[in-house]
Chains A and B, each alone.
Chain A
Amino acid sequence: DIQMTQSPSSLSASVGDRVTITCRASQSISSYLNWYQHKTGKAPRLLIYGASSLQSGVPSRFSGSGSGTDFTLTINSLTPEDFATYYCQQSFSMYLTFGGGTKVEIK
């Protein structure tokens, strides 16, 4: 299996802050990396696909970068609706795997 390691596992931030979440793959996955936002009791939401492409309807304050084994999700100017858990997911291998999640909490 390809292991996906996210860091940090949680962070506290204020509205307006810039937040960066990293995801590392145990082997190269090219750009086959997606990011999802998940709020408790709601369906996960696709934010970024192909490491850096913004899904339709997702605010431009979200951005993704990286390739190979190291990836980053950045949220510029955090808003109240951005407090959630974020997951990376690789689709390089058909044995799909997620990172452990990063919970973004209000400071």
Chain B
Amino acid sequence: QITLKESGPTLVKPTQTLTLTCTFSGFSLSTSGVGVGWFRQPPGKALEWLALIFWNDDKWYSPSLKSRLAVTKDTSKNQVVLTMTNMDPVDTATYSCAQYSHFHKWFDPWGQGSLVTVSS
């Protein structure tokens, strides 16, 4: 069974850097074709893709947020870390991670998400 769980702060101040960790089980990020993606959903708004990291360390970012995002993986710990710099109240959202299959080109399964509020 594959599971993913997001962890990190629930509250960050404006201008701070957000660091979120996706801890997963049931698969390895050293397996060819496997990736982990990050997403967010502001309250009342739609899902938005943020970043994707592959088994071979190839990385893709949302063009609109690329300058603020970084994604890394720790294969030994089964973790993927997302950092987002210069946080603003508009970045308040539920942040989620999901496994990506490069073969099927789908995200499945997903973590439940972690709400991050940006406020002073």
Contact call B96/A44, Cβ cutoff below 8 A? yes
Do A98 and B49 touch across chains, with their CB atoms under 8 A apart?
yes
Cβ contacts A21-42/B at 8 Å (1 or 0 each): 0000000000010101010011
Q: Contact: B112 with A43, CB < 8 Å?
A: yes
Please, what's the 1-or-0 string for B83-120, where 1 marks a CB less than 8 Å from any CB in chain A? 00000000000001010000011111111110000000
Partner of B106, one of A34, A94, A98, A99: A34
Within residues 3 to 44 of chain B, which ones have a CB less than 8 A from any CB in chain A?
A: 37
Among A42, A43, A91, A101, the residue within 8 A (CB) of B105 is A91
Q: Are B48 and A98 in contact (CB under 8 A)?
A: yes
Majority SS at the chain A contact face: loop
Interface of B is mostly: strand
Inter-chain contact A94/B47, CB cutoff 8 Å: no
By size class, the interface of chain A is 20 to 34
In the assembled complex, A100 has its CB within 8 A of some CB on chain B: yes
**A43 partner, pick from B52, B106, B109, beta carbons under 8 A:** B109
* Complex alpha-carbon distance, A94 and B95, angstroms: 20
CB <8 Å contact, A43 and B46:
no
Docked-complex contact B108 and A98, CB < 8 angstroms: no
Instruction: Please determine whether A94 and B109 come into contact, CB atoms closer than 8 angstroms.
Output: no
**A41: chain B residues within 8 A (beta carbon):** 112
Task: Considering the complex, give the chain B residue whose CB is closest to the CB of A91.
Answer: B105
Contacting residue for B60 out of A36, A38, A94, A97, CB 8 A: A94
Known interface pairs A1-B63, A95-B62; A43-B110 also in contact (CB < 8 Å): yes
Given known contacts A96-B37, A96-B49, A101-B46, A44 and B104 CB-to-CB distance under 8 angstroms: no
Residues of B within 8 A of A87 (CB): 46-47
Residues of B within 8 A of A (CB): 37, 46-49, 52, 60, 62-63, 96, 98, 104-113
* Chain A interface residues (CB < 8 Å from chain B): 1, 32, 34, 36, 38, 41-46, 49-50, 55, 87, 89, 91, 94-101
